[in-house]
Amino acid sequence: MNPLVLDGKALSNQLEGELALRTAALRDRTGHRAAVLATILVGDDPASATYVKMKGNACRRVGLESRKVELGSATTTAELLAVIDGLNADPDVRGILLQHPVPSQIDERACFDRIALEKDVDGVTALGFGRMVMNEPAYGSATPAGIMRLLEHYKIELSGRHAVVVGRSPILGKPVAMMLLNANATVTLCHSKTRELAGLVGLADILVGAVGKPQFIRGSWIKEGAVVVDAGYHPGGVGDVELSTALQRCSAYTPVPGGVGPMTIASLMAHTVEAAERHARGA
């Protein structure tokens, strides 16, 4: 079997080109002012700093302005909420991203939920999640949204198929399960403590690995012809799925790296551009 490669890097490049045209048109309509994506980085975690830098680079590629807000590791919940309030009130800011994780003394959920719904381009608020589940307008979490864009682009049939999601995080496992359900898939949501996990994985027409443990999902569990979406990334360039064995069984897969990761940032850019366009229309 020669499985189809779901190439997130190629699709993200295509999407960024389309977004650059949309931002140029938007600047023409709004007096050449670029929309702003504000990123908040609290503390000095090097991985988080790298992610924020990557998002700033993506902003420049598509014609958005990136505003980086850096706060010290001793920042309190009240101080961070005040920063978010200021960005909510700023008419130039069309998207707000609070980089996860924040230091332990901060109530992260309270801070996520302080982000205005119309600026929640990373899909982290409880209100945005609830609206997405109910098929109401909202920006879904960026990684799940990127997965759905990838599946749509490669014309992976979802309706009526059995999707198994392994992982239940509030920004990945849970929202992608709900997005797949809204796309008429039949969804089983599992996690690291699920009993008889191998048997459930073996039922999947579409498997999403989002458990956050390297090669936790064995390739031998995967059904012949399944579509494998690996949302994990770990040192050594491996994901949550034992891909070397899975490749002998699956019909399509996302490479690690180069699959889901690039689509996360591309979806964040797409959400920010859409938010700017909605604001310009007065929507």
Catalytically active residues, by annotation: 55, 99, 122
Strand-strand pairing, 252-253 and 65-71: unpaired
| Torsion-angle region of 67 (φ positive above 0: left; ψ -120 to 50: alpha; else: beta) | beta
Query: From start to end of 56-215, where are the E strands?
Result: 65-71, 93-98, 162-166, 186-190, 206-209
Contact 129, 123 (CB under 8 A): yes
| Torsion-angle region of 171 (φ positive above 0: left; ψ -120 to 50: alpha; else: beta) | alpha
Query: Interhelix angle for 142-153 vs 260-281, to 10°?
Result: 100
CA 173 – CA 187 distance, rounded (Å):
11
Tokens of 265: 């940032």
List the 65-71 sheet strands across, edge first. 65-71, 36-42, 93-98
Number of H helices, E strands in the chain: 10, 9
